[in-house]
Amino acid sequence: MTQAEHERHFNDKIAKEIKIEPNDWMPDEYRQTLIRQISQHAHSEVVGMLPEGNWITRAPNLRRKAVLLAKVQDEAGHGLYLYSATETLGADREQTIDDLHTGKAKYSSIFNYPALTWADIGAIGWLVDGAAIMNQVALCRTSYGPYARAMVKICKEESFHQRQGYESLMKLCNGTPQQKAMAQDALNRFWWPALMMFGPNDAESTHSEQSIAWKIKRFTNDELRQSFVDATVPQAEILGLTIPDENLKWNEERGHYDFSEINWDEFWQVVKGNGPCNKERLAARIKAKEEGLWVREAANAFAKKRAMKKSA
Amino acid sequence: MSNSDWPLWEVFIRSKQGLNHKHVGSLRAPDATLALENARDVYTRRSEGISIWVVESAHIHATDIDQADAFFEPSDTKIYRHPTFYEVPDGVKHM
Ligand SMILES: [Fe+2]
Ligand SMILES: [Fe+2]
């Protein structure tokens, strides 16, 4: 087939909602866009373990500890499914990870905010996983097969992440005034960063238009952000918490909540590496790779020994 | 040394007795034993399986996607292999 025929065939599949699979012909830019997006997504799952992992030993009871451990373990799995998906596109897994460590690759800027109190762990589950789910449910219909399949599996696992966070906040909100104040404080600090998770406004989003045309993205950043706000406001009401936005108001005409403009300076500062925890997060990932080296070497040595025994 | 020296394994899971093993994803591991254990930890955390197969990706042979039309053509042209090809009067039962 000629280049033009390949392209026509590819566009035809996209138009007919036929998934693109690893060995199919695809435009180079489609491949590169996917590698960038999926590896960023993988890095976010992995870096996302850090703020929560930090609280596993300090969870208030055994039930909460077991739940948090299970959630963090899920996130490690999500990282793996996504790194595997980048490999199907020809990306080298170690290289993708090294790109994170050198700062060349990005991850979701939400994880550059610290989890200061136990209530933050509830807020992260409710808001951060909630926002991630909004994004990931939409990605279950993305045009690249392995990415879509990873998303289906991830979404199945995510739903408990949000529920456990909400449940944990519910407990605090029904507790002492100090506990409720702690929950409100967590919401105050995580609300805006959670809205930033959907990325820049559509007008500012560089890759959006092409990604929508290729059906990599099914909804724009602003559409997803609006759905998240609409879904979350009533949940905050049930908790009895106040969303820190004085312009938040139901708009009868639009059938959506109106909300204030995001502080984009803060967003870009964090993306550029100047958030509260950027350096700490990268340092922790690099340390994990370096200090885990002996485990990988031991696994190799053990595999070799086992192979020798078998052949003997 | 990094784990990119480790081969890639394709993971297949039988979700319950009576069903086929189905491809669920892939992972890297130094040998089959560790590949099976890792597959258990990442792909069956919620009782998704009762049996796992792992196969080194390098051992899988696949049809050529560019030749797919020609390769599968013999079956596409034989519509008489399907029951709907045949006309049977309305009154005929159990067929
Ligand atoms: Fe996740
Ligand atoms: Fe999650």
**Helix (H) / strand (E) containing A263:** none
Distance CA B28, CA A93 (A): 10
Mean pLDDT along residues B65-74: 88
Fill in the DSSP letter of residue A261: P
Q: Domain residues of chain B, as ranges?
A: 3-63
Residues 6+ apart with CB under 8 A from A4: none
Distance CA A51, CA A117 (A): 11
B23: helix, strand or coil: strand
The yes-or-no verdict on residue B93 having pLDDT over 70 is yes
Give the B-side interface with A, CB within 8 Å: 1-6, 8, 24-31, 33-34, 41-42, 45-46, 62, 65-66
Q: What is the pLDDT of residues B8-38, one digit of tens each?
A: 999 999 999 999 999 999 999 999 999 999 9
* Percent of chain B scoring above 90 in pLDDT: 81
Contact A303 B34 (CB under 8 A): yes
Kindly give the distance from the C-alpha atom of residue A45 to the centroid of ligand 1, in angstroms, as a whole number.
5
Kindly give the distance from the C-alpha atom of residue A108 to the centroid of ligand 1, in angstroms, as a whole number.
12
For residue A206, what pLDDT is reported? 77
Distances A122 to A4, A67, A305, B81 between C-alpha atoms, Å: 52, 12, 46, 58
Domain B3-63 listed as CATH 3.10.20.520: yes
With CA atoms as reference, the chain B residue closest to A91 would be B4
Choosing among A300, A302, A308, A311, which should be mutated to test the B contact, i.e. which has the most B CBs within 10 A? Answer: A300
The closest CB to that of B25, out of A25, A73, A81, belongs to: A81
The closest CB to that of A303, out of B2, B30, B42, belongs to: B30
For residue B68, what pLDDT is reported? 86
A180, A56 Cβ separation under 8 angstroms: no
Nearest to residue A44, comparing CAs of A285, A295, A290, A289? Answer: A285
Q: How confident is the model at residue B4 (pLDDT cuts 50, 70, 90)?
A: low
Segment 115-174 of chain A within 8 Å of chain B by CB: 149-150, 153, 157
B23, B11 Cβ separation under 8 angstroms: yes
Chain B residue numbers with beta carbons less than 8 Å from the beta carbon of A303 are 30-31, 33-34
A221, A205 Cβ separation under 8 angstroms: yes
Whether the CB of A77 is below 8 Å from some CB of chain B: the reply is yes
CB atoms within 10 A of CB A127: 27
With CA atoms as reference, the chain B residue closest to A152 would be B24
Kindly give the distance from the C-alpha atom of residue A137 to the centroid of ligand 1, in angstroms, as a whole number.
12
The β-bridge relationship of strands B8-14 and B51-56 is antiparallel
For residue B67, what pLDDT is reported? 87
Contact A303 B26 (CB under 8 A): no
Whether the CB of A207 is below 8 Å from some CB of chain B: the reply is no
For residue A41, what pLDDT is reported? 97
pTM, 2 dp: 0.93
For residue B74, what pLDDT is reported? 87
The pair of structure tokens assigned to A192 is 């805006």
**A241 phi and psi angles, rounded to 5 deg:** -105, 155
Mean pLDDT along residues B64-75: 88
Chunk chain A into consecutive blocks of 10 residues (it has 312) and report each block's average pLDDT, rounded to whole numbers.
Answer: 92 96 95 96 97 96 97 97 96 94 94 97 98 96 97 94 98 98 98 97 85 94 97 98 98 98 96 94 96 94 91 80
Q: Residues B45, B46, B47, B48: what is their CA dihedral angle, to the nearest 10 degrees?
A: -90
The yes-or-no verdict on residue B3 having pLDDT over 60 is no
Q: Report the complex ipTM.
A: 0.88
**What distance in Å separates residue B33's CA from the closest CA in chain A?**
8
Contact B25 A306 (CB under 8 A): no
Residues 6+ apart with CB under 8 A from A44: A107, A108, A111
For residue B66, what pLDDT is reported? 80
A64, B26 Cβ separation under 8 angstroms: no
A217, A224 Cβ separation under 8 angstroms: no
Distance CA A57, CA B69 (A): 57
A245: helix, strand or coil: coil
Distance CA B31, CA A196 (A): 42
Q: How confident is the model at residue B1 (pLDDT cuts 50, 70, 90)?
A: very low
For residue A298, what pLDDT is reported? 94
**What distance in Å separates residue A140's CA from the closest CA in chain B?**
15
**Helix (H) / strand (E) containing B22:** strand B21-28
Contact B4 A302 (CB under 8 A): no
With CA atoms as reference, the chain B residue closest to A80 would be B27
